[in-house]
Structure 1
Amino acid sequence: MMARVLYRDALMLVLDKPAGLAVHAGGKKSEHLGLYLDHLRFGLPQAPELAHRLDRDTSGCLVFGRHRQALKRLGALFAHGRVEKTYWAVTVGEPPGESGVIDKPLAKIKPTYGWHMKVDPHGQPSATEWRLLGRTGRLSWLECRPLTGRTHQIRVHLASIGCPIVGDGVYGKGTADLLSPHLHLHARRISVPLYPKKSPVIVTAPVAPHLTDLLRSCGWADEEPSPVDAQPVLEILGEG
């Protein structure tokens, strides 16, 4: 798991979470991220804790606070919408244009088996910005920026405009899930204004292996930036 650390300083750690690994224990999946966190203490007396979460099948940037005060600061940034999250998705179908905002309230529903989210006028306000980055005759490569933080938000919103994410067996069942068993949703980049007098820490997660073939078909050129696009890590480690 250490090889998946994209960024670390005195307060924060950003991990490249693999697809298929839950962030918490629960359900039928016995393996979860919490089993590995003790190995990411890097000299501190306690393991890092989640500052937010990703779905089990979503890969990419996941932020942790390294101690209680750090977690409190990060929690406030996430709660006030100051953390900018950018996702890449490969979808079945083309969106209505080159860019836009999906502004549709979402609510949780609990049928007989399991639960999922749906667009509901009486649900919680939810908004997602999107931009078309590439396409084939059938697939689209979209950049998405959630402006709110609802569960499954990007997955539901994209499905609601006729663009379910490849591999989504819940919101794209019978269409998108037939192309791949793997969800093609990746937390590509995160920008955290962690230090008031410094530029935001911007971290980019490399494209997960299960995404590469379809991204290439949509025009992705395999060019990867440095994982940390902000100031050098060593300038703010403060750990000696």
Structure 2
Amino acid sequence: MPTALCNVFGGQNTSYAIQNTDLATSTDVTVTYSSGAPSVKLWAPTAKAVTLRRYADGSTSTYTAHAMTLDAATGVWSVTGDSTWNRQYYLFDVQVYVPALDAVTNNLVTDPYALTLSTDTSDTADPRSQFVNLSDADLKPSGWDSLSKPALRFKTFVSQEYADLIYNGLWFSAFHQDLAAFVACNQRFVTGKVRVKLFKGTAQAVGRQSEFSLYNKHLATYDKGDQFDHEAAKGFIRLWGLGTQTQAQLQLLKGGQG
């Protein structure tokens, strides 16, 4: 098992952990957000107690302790915070019995499902997990909600070309007219409302809303109740891998390189 999970289980009941991973995978044990407030869950069925240590940043030694509550049916510990937790850091303080020591010990572990971590700190061998809400506006590339993937990728290329064109003094060139036509067409659905935070001479986009937004949570996630038909993925996987499979059968395997 990963180090974090071994620490959670205290090195004991490994077979229990492996045989019952369906409890962890069937239960949402990632950090989820509701109205900007994170809910944290950890699957640790053999733990005697779990406390979430919340740090203001990735290096400070001071923290706020939050006791987590156990759901005995699933072995999942949970706690819900508020919007001020976002972008802060945390560790799990797991109290568990360790057979090798014949004692109950406390292990500080990171969240195995964390999206990002801090660098190593002096007071713990593990880096700290960070609360990150991927729906935050400042984490989305420009056009993320309103452009298709090919358009978004090509827009990045055009942006560089546009910058080079202006730098080289080619504003009145035919090439500029071509790029300007693409930009005008590409941006025709980029409209809506942007919420901006002004602080000490900086401006940060913290929210965006558009009637043309392509983002749909029910299609973009794999949560229960989503609208995506997972059976459709089977055909795509077969088609996507057909070229590799054909090459392996006709070339790599015959040549002894497969």
Whether TM-score is above 0.5 comes out as no
Q: What is the TM-score normalised by the length of structure 1?
A: 0.26
Q: What is the TM-score normalised by the length of structure 2?
A: 0.24
Larger proportion of helix: 2
Higher relative contact order (CA 8 A, sep 6+): 1
Larger radius of gyration: 2
Larger proportion of strand: 1
